Amino acid sequence: MFVPRLTLKWMGLAGSLVKGAAGLAAAGSLFLAAVEYADQGKAARAAETIRLIDRWEETTSGVLTAYRSLGQRLTLALAERTPALDGTRPPEELAALLVADVLQQEGAADEFERIVYFFTRLELCIEATLCDEHTAAIFFSDTVDTFMKNFRSAVLERRRSDPHFGSEIRKLQIRLNRSAAGQDAFDPDRPLP
């Protein structure tokens, strides 16, 4: 059977086009698979963050209860002791004395430790990319800020005997503030917004 040369060229060109189209389809499939994989990873990180939020709110874990209790203790101590506070001392020193007194109350030190442990765990979860930073920022940025504003002096005091105590909470505070402000990259040298 005789096949003209022109037909053979067209068949070769058609074969090349089919191979090219198959290659593009394969590349497109790989791209879609990568996007799907990334979406699944983000969903898994968000789910893990939600699990930690649930743990925060569980009455059995007592973390939220501890947080509220420490806040109430500090509010009561401030109301009771404000008139008796020495006005000649700097406000930071007075706040540190007040926090130290609160942490001497029965159960307060355990509540403080429970909160520090939880926030350390949250930071490590985000750092290991097991938790979603944005979800954590939405839920915890104000809470971490408030805790550090109120109990920074206690964290610094504990660092005298344990140099790394609370360092993860500070990293968490920076990370969540930046994420809440829409700044994705974590750079501890960049100032807070």
H or E element at residue 132: none
Range of the domain at 99: 43-180
Mean pLDDT, range 119-136, rounded to an integer = 94
Q: Residues of the chain with pLDDT > 90: what percent? A: 47
Q: Residue 107: its pLDDT value, please?
A: 96
More confident residue, 88 or 58: 58
SS3 16: helix
Q: Indicate the range of 8-12, 45-49, 130-134 predicted with least confidence.
A: 8-12
The answer to whether residue 25 sits within a structural domain is no
Assigned domain for 87 exists: yes
Cβ atoms of 123 and 169 within 8 Å: the answer is yes
145 found inside a domain: yes
Q: Is the pLDDT of residue 115 over 60?
A: yes
pLDDT band at residue 9 using 50, 70 and 90 as cut-offs: low
Task: Give the closest residue to 56 by CA, choosing from 107, 114, 108, 132.
Answer: 114
Q: What's the pLDDT band for 61 if we cut at 50, 70, 90?
A: confident
Calculate the average pLDDT of the chain. Answer: 81
Give residue for tokens 């540190």: 96
Residue type, 68: R
Res. 193: pLDDT tops 50: no
Q: Which two tokens stand for residue 54?
A: 């649930």
In a domain, 20, yes or no: no
In a domain, 23, yes or no: no
Examine residue 189 and state whether it is found in any structural domain, yes or no.
Answer: no
Nearest in space to 140 (alpha carbons), one of 115, 160, 104: 115
Domain count of the fold of the chain:
1
Categorize the per-residue pLDDT at 11 as very low, low, confident or very high, splitting at 50, 70 and 90: low
Task: Yes or no: say if 119 and 165 are a contact pair by the CB < 8 Å rule.
Answer: no
Buried b (16+ CB within 10 A) or exposed e, 141-163: beebeebbebbbbbbebbeeeee
pLDDT value for 147: 96
Instruction: Provide the pLDDT confidence category of residue 88 given band limits of 50, 70 and 90.
Output: confident
Q: Is residue 137 part of a domain?
A: yes
Q: Is the pLDDT of residue 1 over 50?
A: yes
Distance between CA 27 and CA 24 in Å, rounded?
Answer: 5
- Tell which wins on pLDDT, 39 or 110: 110
Q: Are 193 and 181 in contact (CB under 8 A)?
A: yes
Tokens of 122: 């949250």
Q: Between 171 and 43, name the one with better pLDDT.
A: 171
